Chains A and B, each alone.
Chain A
Amino acid sequence: MNAEPILQISGLHKAYGDSKILRGVDLTVQRGEVIFLIGPSGGGKSTLLRCINFLETPCAGEITFTGERLCHQDNQIYQQVDESRLRMARSKMPMVFQQFNLFSNRTVLENVIEGPVHVLRRPRQEAIAEARVILDKVGLSARLDYYPDQLSGGQRQRVAIARALAMKPELILFDEPTSALDPELVSGVLDTIRQLAQEGMTMIIVTHEMNFARKLADRICFVADGGILESGSPEQLLATPARNSRIASFIQSMQH
């Protein structure tokens, strides 16, 4: 293989109280890869993404991101780097949420420059210039001064993607980016993600849009029961049915 992976996860565990949600997840993501996580609701997909971004603190395991080990096991004891290093890492792997989660007291443009100005400490004018370019790319250059509640769901999600892009990320995490959208607004968001894939952006995407995953994925991981039960190229995972009956029945249920 070529260079070192951008993200390397091994033995990741997460429990809430007594309920074990993730039980030893291993995942390696190469630069430029587009990975889809599919699987039944409650299987742990969101928890996995949130642990990668440290919105949730894992219970055990090792995560290495762009060569920096963010957490590991030291003599059975879980250790993670301090908050400021975590923040730096997070800023390079922003997350796009199902519910958009735009800052509702800020305009579209302000949402996008918030991270560059206040996390990356870029000069405001430069940040604005870059934000304009990004917003133009996601088709929102006419909405710079709108507030989030003046936008449609699809527009909001594209602002959220622009906010992530403005961080010049190494990796973007998407948690069901189109699940909260009216059907007619889904394609605009998917087009934006497709464009990012073509530009070589590394992404981990949780979705129920099977056709989209099939066309765009470098690799699809089937997540259930707190682990990645199966992973492979779309052809391997989706085309050859009877390989795993759980996957087959899950995909069957998605067709409806």
Chain B
Amino acid sequence: MYDFLFVLIPKYFPFLLKGAVVTLQLSVLSMALGILIGLAVALGRLARRPWLDWPLRCYVELWRGVPLVVQLLVIYFTLPQIGLTLSGFWAGVLGLSLNLGAYLSEVFRAAILSLDKGQREAGLSIGMSRNKIYLRVILPQALKIAIPTVGGYFISLLKDSSLVSFIAVNELLRHGSIVIANTFLSMQVYLMVAIIYFVLSFVAARGVHWIEQRLTPAHLRTGTRINASPISSKLTEAKS
């Protein structure tokens, strides 16, 4: 125990943290790209153009049907064959974001479809253009609906990004493996790696919650109550 706290941690923790920084970079970049891909694909599929819909649908089905690690290996080893050489890091970002994009497109599509068409028609009936309606009415609400799920994907991504250690990216897990290769202290090192992953996920989960709260109108936030309307106060009266 003394060794773990006062020898191993000071010696190897900074190296592991460096790996954790790469894990974070990978995750944040992939998430940002994945959200853009997911939104574009969702909007493309909702545009009701068959020539656009079926290729996008093939993408979504294919990417959801193949294990992530296989996708990463395919990208890492086949892109150079066609003359595109990406570093492990960027191959990882590409692989993770394409994978996320496929899943998130379905999340966004479902969120958009869950909004009833009434608000769209109201926008049209006062002369708003379809794009304006999307930008100002539909997307803000759909994104709000999607945020908890997207946040969940981000937390998974922090952990799933460990798969890019297969394509030699020096992220957290691979840094752990390097330390173990030199020290043979697998248990202690994996414990440190686990703790770091846990802290990352925990902080991310709090962050997602904070964003959710920020985007919720004040009167609907849990734990706060301002501007209580006649109806909602009637409801709470009835309950209490």
Binding site for B on A (CB under 8 A): 53, 55, 83, 87-92, 94-95, 97, 99-106, 114-115, 118-119, 145-147, 149-152, 160, 163-164, 167, 173
Contacts and interface: CB of A to CB of B under 8 A. Distances in A.
Nearest to B141: A105
B55 interface: no
B212 to A, nearest CB: 15
Contacts of B127: 87-92, 94, 115, 119, 167
A104 B128 CA distance: 16
B140 interface: yes
Interface string B122-139: 111111110010001100
Given A90-B124, A90-B126, A91-B127, A152 B231 contact: yes
Contacts of B144: 105
Contacts of A94: 125-127
A104 B119 contact: yes
Q: How large is the interface on B (under 10, 10 to 19, 20 to 34, 35 or more residues)?
A: 20 to 34
Contacts of B50: none
Name the prevailing secondary structure of the A interface residues: loop
Given A101-B119, A115-B128, 13 more contacts: A55-B121, A55-B124, A87-B128, A87-B129, A102-B119, A103-B119, A103-B137, A115-B126, A118-B132, A119-B128, A149-B220, A150-B232, A167-B126
Contacts of B229: 146, 150-151
Contact of A99 (B118, B123, B124, B227): B118
A37 to B, nearest CB: 17
A102 B122 contact: yes
B209 interface: no
Contacts of A105: 137, 140-141, 144
B230 interface: yes
Given A103-B119, A105-B141, A150-B229, A95 B125 contact: yes
Contact of B136 (A114, A152, A164): A114
A175 B141 CA distance: 25
A150 B219 CA distance: 8
